[in-house]
Amino acid sequence: MWFIMNTSSKNSQQKKRVFFISKYATWQDYRNEILTFIGDKYDAEVEILTTGTLRSYIRGNDVVQYKIFRSWLPVAAEKIGFFPGAVKYIIKEKPDVVLAQNDTLQFTEYLAFLVCKIFGIRFVWWTHAHMPSVVYRSKFKKWLRQKYALFFLKKSDAVVTYCRVGEQYLVENYVERTRVICAPNTLNTDKLLKLATLTRQKFSKQELRKSAGLPLDRNYILFMGRLTTRKRVEKAIQIIGHLNKSESTKYHLIIIGDGNNRENLQNLALQIAPDFVTFTGAIFDDELKARYFIMADLFIIPGAVGLAIVYSFCFGLPIITTADANHGPEIIYLKNGKNGVMVEGNSIINMAEMIEELFADTLQIKAMSAAAEQTIREEAPVQLMAERMAQALAL
């Protein structure tokens, strides 16, 4: 009798197991941090089921572990994915809940969905829902993919969406309201806000610029992200070139990131803004990255706004972007004229003029900086996202 009761007590204290299907191993490493935060806060174990090869900057920890499976399709996993070994693993291990993205070309997710239905395993989608940042050339293709996605969204145990727009879209398309949970997409803001404070306590802007070998008499604008054509980084370089035609105030652009468009961007910088653009490459050291954010005055997003806005706001950097129709859901954090600026149209001259206007009013930039941090604390704290996701995952 004692043995049976003791075993029952032990089982009741076992951690819940969450499996997250990630379409490939190097995709969106921020999800590792979010799932680590959730697992640690709600006493759960998380396994990321994926394919490909982990990069050196992505690793498991005490809460999150990676399981790598072989892809059966000889194509880039980020486009089309199928690694059925993950589904076999789900059948064998029977976790408490499976989390997936509802990417219509990632077939592993849909096979896992069917298996979870058969075995009574909770299944949750974590998704844009309305796919705002996906550009379609064919209206029929867009309609077909959305109908396909909605079919599975309606049959899940819960759907986590990134913003109220996604929530509204799902409810309007007959996904049961009680199953839809809005978890504002964010980063580990606790870590970033603390890092920003510590870095400011150690260094001034000028000290950081000097240590990086950068001129002290310039206005600094920062970009961080993948150097791909979709990010439109060339526009930021063109803006710097235009701003520096004047002999008075000088502007300097720092570009953090790497990608297949880097060489073209470097050549462009040499042509139109020599000595006014610094390429750092990708930076995975948080403390080093923090130094660049503290030494900058403004963050520029020439293309689609994504999670970079959360990073910049944690460091009190206002953003400047354009009214691009393909922004991600994180655009909801931008309050035009308060914590950043959205410039109508794609005019380089208009963007440049707005930057000059901002730097001419130091009090305005200071007010925007304070508003940016306030936005994070009120609308995008990691605790809020964790709480909502834990609700969907039934932790």
Highest mean pLDDT among 162-171, 243-252, 359-368: 359-368
Whether 24 and 158 share a structural domain: yes
Same domain, 49 and 86: yes
Same domain assignment for residues 178 and 224? no
- Total tally of structural domains belonging to the chain: 2
Residues 181 and 103 in one domain: yes
Asked if residue 175 and residue 75 are part of one domain, the reply reads yes
8 within a domain of the structure (yes/no)? no
DSSP 336: B
**Lowest model confidence (mean pLDDT) among 1-10, 21-30, 190-199, 266-275:** 1-10
Q: Please indicate, yes or no, if residue 7 is contained in any of the structural domains.
A: no
Burial 217-247 (b: 16+ CB within 10 A, else e): ebbbbbbbbebeeebbbbbbbbbbbbbbeee
Answer whether residue 41 is part of any domain: yes
The mean of the pLDDT values for the chain is 90
Instruction: For residue 239, give the nearest of 333, 326, 303, 330 by alpha carbon.
Output: 303
Q: Percentage of residues in the chain with pLDDT exceeding 70?
A: 94
Residue 150 falls inside a structural domain: yes
- State the pLDDT confidence band at 198, using cuts at 50, 70 and 90: very high
181 and 196 in one domain? no
**Contact residues for 119 (Cβ-Cβ < 8 A; gap 6+):** 91, 94
Conformational region of residue 314, where left means phi above 0, alpha means psi within -120 to 50, and beta covers everything else: alpha
Strand 277-281's sheet: what is its strand order?
Answer: 277-281, 251-256, 219-224, 298-301, 319-322, 340-343
Together in a domain, 197 and 115? no
Q: Are residues 64 and 176 in the same domain?
A: yes
Q: Name the residue type at position 209.
A: R
Of 74-78, 161-165, 210-214, the poorest mean pLDDT is in 74-78
For residues 335 and 298, membership in a common domain is answered with: yes
Residue 1 domain-assigned (yes or no): no
Strand positions, DSSP E, 54-157 = 64-69, 97-100, 122-127
Does one domain contain both 372 and 389? no
Structure letter (DSSP) for residue 342: E
**Tokens describing residue 298:** 């403004």
**203 neighbors 181 (Cβ within 8 angstroms):** no
Half-sphere exposure of 132 (CA within 13 A, CB side): 21
Helix (H, G, I), strand (E, B) or coil at 141: helix
Whether residue 6 is contained in a domain is answered as no
Q: Is the pLDDT reported for residue 4 higher than 80?
A: no
More confident residue, 381 or 105: 381
Joined together, the tokens standing for residue 115 give 């298996």
Domain interval for residue 264: 189-379
Helix axes 107-119, 85-93, angle to 10 degrees: 20
Helix residue spans in 225-332 (DSSP H) = 233-243, 262-272, 286-295, 308-314
Question: What CA–CA distances, in Å, run from 32 to 25, 61, 63, 116?
Answer: 11, 9, 10, 23
In a domain, 363, yes or no: yes
Tell me the residue length of the chain: 395
pLDDT at 387 over 50: yes
**What average pLDDT score do residues 132-144 get?**
67
Q: Does 240 lie in the same domain as 114? A: no
Residue 170, helix vs strand vs coil: helix
Mean pLDDT of 40-45: 96
- What does the alpha-carbon distance between residue 44 and residue 390 come to, in Å, rounded to a whole number? 10
CATH code of the domain containing 96: 3.40.50.2000
Closest CA to 291 of 256, 247, 341: 256
Sign of the C-alpha dihedral computed for residues 362, 363, 368 and 371 taken in this order: positive
Same domain for 163 and 211, yes or no, is no
Q: Considering the domain boundaries, does residue 79 fall inside one?
A: yes
Q: Which pLDDT band holds residue 288 (cuts at 50, 70, 90)?
A: very high
